[in-house]
Structure 1
Amino acid sequence: MAQQRKRNPNGAGTITKRKDGRYQCAVYVLQPDGTRARKFAYGKTWAECDAKRRVLLDKAENGVPVPTRSAKLAEWLPYWLDNVVKPRRKLSTYDKYEAHVRLYLVPRLGAKRLESLAVADVRRFLAQLARDTTPATAKEAHRVLRSALSSACREELISRNVAQLVEPPRTKPRELTPWTLDETLDFLAVARKDPLYAAFVLAIAMGLRRGEIVGLRWSDLDLDNRVLYVRQQTQRRRGVLYDDDPKSRRRRAVPLPAMCIAPLRWHRMRQAEVRVRAGETWQESGHVFTTRTGRPVEPRNVYRSFTRIAGDAGLRVIRLHDARHGTATLLTAAGVAPRVVMEILGHSQISITMEVYTHVVQDTQREAMSHMDRLLRRRSATGDPRR
């Protein structure tokens, strides 16, 4: 008499033989929505089916969601936002991803199941979205979808990421129009009496981002050794000011140019006078740039002051962020290596720096070729018989 197989303990699943001769296992697994349901797997032999049962049990024990049926994008994307993006990414990134999921991905692709989503579906979605909005919006939606499907691949919900097989829409690069050196000097001359003058000097001379300027604290400055530490940035999201890591989480120490020292010392003395006048209403925050009561200034107000001063001076009104491009242009024209410029500005990729570098190099090449033109014309004018 053949020895009877032992029954699996409770929670270990079951294996039964079907009428068609195949074996079937059933295991309770975790669903993406947090509930539990039975998942079935099949094999030609008992051993094959048992191996699949063990894989399902391992996922169940480690809390890995295993849908009993292919989840729709409308089900997976909210789960991905709450459990993958929110714990690991910055709030600004989460808000941007959530907006694309809510406005574009779920309404247009939400009914598709993960396993049935095809390359053609993604290509049609991007083409239609580019027509209805802008190519830049479609390109960002493609990035969000690609990231979400990559997470689904890691959780073994799908075998391939079809978004990676589709090229994103082409977008026209934004033309860089930073101020010339004369325009920059004119702005600084007019802004000298503004309470945020030191902030504008940092933006122009060091290329600090607006959030990095607002989030700067006196503890981040070593004026004696002329070093500035970029450790955080201040943003307004959902109606609240909050501190966050710098963009791309790139904390850095940057040498302070000599021209920044005097404005910062003057600003510190002026802030001390404001603190005395505020009295008990002063809320000490340690920030360099504050309101009359010690709270951090609004990021938007820095930009408003910047554009107001530029307009009063009769200058081209540019974005405050364009001052970063101006810094990169001046540093590159001075012969600073692109990798050094990248570290000073806190770029996440050298390609971002190279966009500015290429622009400056083209101007340098044009100047070099003009020298070549003058040399050749001079030789031609001498009547050299070898010409």
Structure 2
Amino acid sequence: MPWYEDEKTKTYYFKVNYKEGGKYKQILRRGFRTKKEVKAAMAEVEDQVNKGTFINPSKTPYKVFIEDWLDDKNSSVKPQTLVNYEKLFQNHILPMRENSRGKTVGLGDIEVGWITMRDIQDLYNHLFESKSLSDENIQKCHTLIKASLKQAKKEKMIADNPAEDVDRPTARKKEMQVWTIEEAHQFLKVAAADPLYIVFLLALTTGMRQGEILGLRWKDFDKNTRIISITQILDHKGKNFEVGAKTISGVRPIRLDKDTADTLIRHRTKSREKQMEFADVFEDRDLVVCTRTGGPVSPRNVNRSFDRIVAKINRELQDKRDKGIQVGRDLKKIRFHDLRHTHVTFLIKNRETPQAIAERLGWSDTRMIDNYAHIRPDIQEDVAEAFGQAFYSNGS
């Protein structure tokens, strides 16, 4: 019998002998939980040996292989993207640790040729259970693992890619937080006195990403046509500018409404006055949003200012309640990025076409619209009323 049971571990293993280059060699595989698994694996190896397609699995630890794989990515992905890849590997994919049942999970110490579907699935299960990553980032882990092992197969380190047969983790839908038009104006009214007001206004009226706004230059704005061109972005750390946008489709023109364009022009006048005030230390980088010395504004500072203004609004509302004054409910706490989602809901409410929305937001296609179907139930109410008026008025 070419397969055996290990009495100590209660698992099964097999041996396959073959001849290569005039020398006899042996393939040994261990760790199978059932007779069915060991038989199937042995049959597959024997078939590969007979066809001459057998590849001896690499003994290189996955964490060592990934160092080279990430180095290779230097020339094909943006710096910030590479940083995100490295974080996912170092913090979540490679570390070996115990899950809630005491089983070791993680891929770093496993040899590339010995990574199994079970190893990968156990990692995903742990990430979901521990809630150490969002569902979307767990999906990114799957994409990275699958892509890296695809390269390992190309380099003949493995015969098959085990990640190919692991189902892509499902991203559970979360309720998207957005503001109504009334809430947006409530915020802008208080934010008007803030130095970063133009950042918040552009986010709400254009749907631009934070990095796109902070990377915007005056030469990218044509005041005659009221068109902004997205040609560079500021990275998440607020230190480096990247040519282009987050995606290829993100490089796009965005037309401003007249009120927003006028506000932007007034902002330029004020910026020039500030520039003159700090002329001795100011370095002109042509940035629409900049520090007093002309440098880029940190995304972290934008987020802090945003949260501070929301907190101020709600604090003032509570002060009025304490005085017995009737006021509305608190302004909903959302993230800065949710201003982009808010803009999309305004466009949907305004009956803009999916194609027009996708082009304005810099999406590669219109499927992203599906994520907003549940946000504004009042849209369905409007549709129903419009249909009813048209249908019954024509029938009378």
TM above 0.5: yes
CA-to-aligned-CA distance 1:213-242 (integer Å, 9 cap, x gap) = 1110001100111110011111244xx600
Please name the residue that 2:259 is paired with: 259
Please name the residue that 1:380 is paired with: none
CA 1:372 to 1:199, structure 2 compared with 1: closer, same or farther past 3 Å?
closer
Aligned residues: percent identity? 28
CA 1:23 to 1:345, structure 2 compared with 1: closer, same or farther past 3 Å?
same
Please name the residue that 1:189 is paired with: 189
Q: Partner of 2:174: helix, strand, or coil?
A: coil
Code of the residue aligned with 2:380 in structure 1: it is: Q
Deviation at 1:141, TM superposition (A): 2.3
Please name the residue that 2:178 is paired with: 178
CA 1:109 to 1:374, structure 2 compared with 1: closer, same or farther past 3 Å?
same
Q: Does 1:313 align with 2:313?
A: yes
Code of the residue aligned with 1:227 in structure 2: it is: I
Among 50, 62, 66, the residue aligned to 1:73:
62
Work out whether residues 196 and 302 of structure 1, in 8 Å CA contact, stay in contact via their aligned partners in 2.
Answer: yes
Please name the residue that 1:246 is paired with: 245
CA 1:281 to 1:337, structure 2 compared with 1: closer, same or farther past 3 Å?
same
Among 126, 131, 137, the residue aligned to 1:128:
126
The structure, 1 or 2, with the larger RCO (C-alpha pairs under 8 Å, 6+ apart) is 2
Consecutive unaligned residues of structure 2, counting only runs of 5 or more, are 1-17, 24-48, 97-105, 315-330, 392-396
TM-score by length of 1: 0.73
Among 69, 77, 80, the residue aligned to 1:92:
80
Matches within 5 A, 1:31-46: none
Q: Partner of 1:178: helix, strand, or coil?
A: coil
Work out whether residues 146 and 163 of structure 1, in 8 Å CA contact, stay in contact via their aligned partners in 2.
Answer: yes
Cα distance in structure 1, aligned partners of 2:20 and 2:146: 37
Work out whether residues 338 and 354 of structure 1, in 8 Å CA contact, stay in contact via their aligned partners in 2.
Answer: no
Q: Partner of 1:199: helix, strand, or coil?
A: helix
Cα distance in structure 1, aligned partners of 2:182 and 2:171: 32
Work out whether residues 221 and 227 of structure 2, in 8 Å CA contact, stay in contact via their aligned partners in 1.
Answer: yes
Please name the residue that 2:107 is paired with: 109
Q: Does 1:364 align with 2:379?
A: yes
Q: Partner of 1:88: helix, strand, or coil?
A: coil
Please name the residue that 1:334 is paired with: 350
Q: Partner of 1:290: helix, strand, or coil?
A: coil
Code of the residue aligned with 1:350 in structure 2: it is: T
Code of the residue aligned with 1:248 in structure 2: it is: T
Cα distance in structure 2, aligned partners of 1:374 and 1:261: 37
Deviation at 1:243, TM superposition (A): 0.5
CA-to-aligned-CA distance 1:346-372 (integer Å, 9 cap, x gap) = 12453323212x235754334444678
Q: Does 1:216 align with 2:216?
A: yes
Q: CA RMSD in A?
A: 3.2
Cα distance in structure 2, aligned partners of 1:123 and 1:227: 48
Q: Partner of 2:292: helix, strand, or coil?
A: coil
Based on CA coordinates, which of the two structures has the bigger radius of gyration? 1
Work out whether residues 153 and 159 of structure 1, in 8 Å CA contact, stay in contact via their aligned partners in 2.
Answer: yes
CA 1:68 to 1:120, structure 2 compared with 1: closer, same or farther past 3 Å?
closer
Work out whether residues 58 and 111 of structure 2, in 8 Å CA contact, stay in contact via their aligned partners in 1.
Answer: no
Work out whether residues 57 and 114 of structure 2, in 8 Å CA contact, stay in contact via their aligned partners in 1.
Answer: no
